[in-house]
Amino acid sequence: MSEKIRNKSSQRSPWDISRYEFVDSTGTKWAVSLELKALKGRVVPISLLIEPIAALAELNTEVLHELSIQKIVKPWIEAEQKRVAQENMKRKVAAHSGRPHSEEELQTVADVYLVAYEKSLPVQQTVAQALGIPISTAAKRIMAARQQGLIPKGLNRKKSA
């Protein structure tokens, strides 16, 4: 299989449509355009366009088998999730002393939580480190974010003995 995937956009900003070129085993060039968005704190593909470049060609199952969407999508999503996590780690959230949390603060907690969960990291500890707060405070903010629906209720990781 002669597969070449090239990113045609040199600098991506979040949620831009990225364009790649793919050459199948018959030598036909294809343009693959991908649009990503944030959905419940995760970066996900929302649209995909595959079209031949400078030739009439049929998009069939053989071409789709050669084209590895995962090779295109996975690195971009991982890079974007890492960027979001690093951006959130730079933020320091002040103590609240019982005051309600803003939606932005809880969204930050949810973003860090979801990235940590996806990477199989300890979520409370990761949130605490990223926001510069004690683990007990992180746990309370995670609960608040979960109550606001920013973290799915079934999404939790218990420590095993």
pTM (predicted TM-score): 0.41
3-state SS class at 117:
helix
Rounded to the nearest angstrom, the gap between the alpha carbon of residue 89 and the centroid of all alpha carbons in its chain is: 16
Question: Could you report the per-residue pLDDT of 138-157, keeping only the tens digit for each?
Answer: 999 999 999 889 998 877 76
* Closest by CA position to 137, among listed 90, 103, 105, 104: 105
Asked if 142 contacts 127 with a C-beta cutoff of 8 angstroms, the reply is yes
**What φ, ψ does residue 83 adopt, rounded to 5°?**
-60, -45
The predicted pLDDT at position 150 comes to 92
Average pLDDT of the segment spanning 121-137:
89
pLDDT attached to residue 93? 56
Question: What element of type H or E holds 5?
Answer: strand 5-7
pLDDT of residue 96: 58
Confidence (pLDDT) at 42: 64
pLDDT of res. 52: 92
**CB burial class (10 A; 0-12, 13-18, 19+) of residue 142?**
buried
